[in-house]
Amino acid sequence: MPDFKELSRSVAGLTVLVTGAASGMGRATARVFAADGANVAVTDVAGEGAQAVAAEITAKGQIAKAWALDVASPDEVRAVVDDVAAQFGGLDIVVNNAGISVRLAIDDDGYDEAWAKGLAVMLTAHQRVIRAALPHLRKSKCPRIVNIASTEALGATALHSAYSVAKAGVTGLTRSLAVELGRDGITVNCICPGPITTGMTDRISAEHKAVYARRRTALGRYGDPEEVAHMTLSLCLPAASFLTGAVIPVDGGLMARNA
Ligand code: NAI
């Protein structure tokens, strides 16, 4: 029998880049990684929001720096990814989290524009961030990619076709890159959050949220962003080295529930 293999359950000392980290699940992800001792690159199109989250983290004596990054800009993506790696001395983990709400009917005016923007921010950006990060990930001893999709990738809600297509694309990208990058030891996984209390769901009234969650989820409530962030961190542990190509709902049992 081989000796028992000790595998680390900490991301301390690793560098993580989180997109869309000024709010919601991205902010929670930045906070959770920093609390575990990672160096955190807090990036967001809202540069001031990113600064504020980095300040929350450094105020606790933890390590973070902020970058303004519009993930739909290929030039910004390349420049920021390389700068993060230069400033922290490498890059180990990418969390593709930035997203926007896209809600309109297939025959609404402006559908083409909304479709293009939704795919640019929530699908094309994922591959661009990954391509920019790859040279750095290939030098890492614990290279990890986590893509944030949605339960809208697995089932559908009316008026969300562009959003749903982007998120379904993320699951395809995840599986495909898991296979392609596996020989480099890079793991690629995807989380599909269900209904989570964040900036994106702010406009939904508390009453509507409660009714929806009781009807649709097993746990009968909306999730908190930290509950998704901890799954993201789990996927990035050195101990998670044999988990790749997985598409994991973190949805309070929404996908499991029929009635
Ligand atoms: P949020 O609105 O609280 O945060 C999204 C962040 O992304 C914001 O800080 C925003 O400034 C940033 N962002 C938007 N466009 C960007 C761009 N072009 N470049 C860089 N950053 C940009 O929303 P939430 O809920 O935390 O969303 C995080 C991810 O989770 C998104 O991909 C979203 O689609 C997904 N999701 C959210 C669910 C929910 O119920 N809240 C459910 C399923 C998936």
In a domain, 9, yes or no: no
Nearest to 9 by CA among 244, 241, 237: 237
In a domain, 199, yes or no: yes
Domain harbouring 227, CATH code = 3.40.50.720
In a domain, 5, yes or no: no
Percent of the chain past pLDDT 90, that is, above it, reads 99
Please tell me the distance between residue 11's alpha carbon and the centre of ligand 1 in angstroms: 23
pLDDT band with cut points at 50, 70 and 90 for residue 151:
very high
In b/e form, how buried is each residue of 41-50, taking b as 16+ CB within 10 angstroms? bbbbbbeebb
In tens, the pLDDT along 57-114 reads 999 999 999 999 999 999 999 999 999 999 999 999 999 999 999 999 999 999 999 9
Residue-level pLDDT at 1: 76
In the structure, which protein residues have their CB atom closer than 6 angstroms to any atom of ligand 1?
A: 19-20, 22-26, 44-46, 49, 69-72, 97-100, 121-122, 148, 150, 193, 195-196, 198-201, 225
Atom of ligand 1 nearest to the CA of 167: 34
Residue-level pLDDT at 2: 80
User: How many domains does the chain divide into?
Assistant: 1
In tens, the pLDDT along 26-52 reads 999 999 999 999 999 999 999 999 999
In a domain, 223, yes or no: yes
In a domain, 1, yes or no: no
When pLDDT is averaged across residues 165-185 and rounded to a whole number, the result is 98
In a domain, 4, yes or no: no
Atom of ligand 1 nearest to the CA of 121: 18
In a domain, 112, yes or no: yes
pTM confidence score: 0.99
Three-class SS state of 149:
coil
- Kind and range of the H or E element at 133? helix 125-137
Is pLDDT at 10 greater than 90 in this prediction? yes
Q: Please state, in angstroms and rounded to a whole number, the distance separating the CA atoms of residues 235 and 93.
A: 10
The best mutation among 42, 73, 81, 100 to test binding of ligand 1, ranked by most ligand atoms within 8 Å of the C-beta, falls on 100
When pLDDT is averaged across residues 10-29 and rounded to a whole number, the result is 99
In a domain, 258, yes or no: no
CB atoms within 10 A of CB 259: 3
Nearest to 188 by CA among 180, 178, 198: 178
Copy the structure tokens of residue 85: 């790696």
The mean pLDDT of the chain is: 98
Separation in Å, CA 242 to CA 71, 96, 142, 224, 235: 29, 20, 12, 27, 10
Helices 225-236 and 24-35 pack at an angle, to 10 degrees, of 50
**Cα angle 45-181-37, degrees, rounded to a multiple of 5:** 55
When pLDDT is averaged across residues 123-149 and rounded to a whole number, the result is 98
Q: Are 30 and 39 in contact (CB under 8 A)?
A: no
Please tell me the distance between residue 6's alpha carbon and the centre of ligand 1 in angstroms: 36
Active site annotation includes 222 = no
Domain membership of residue 102 as a residue range: 15-250
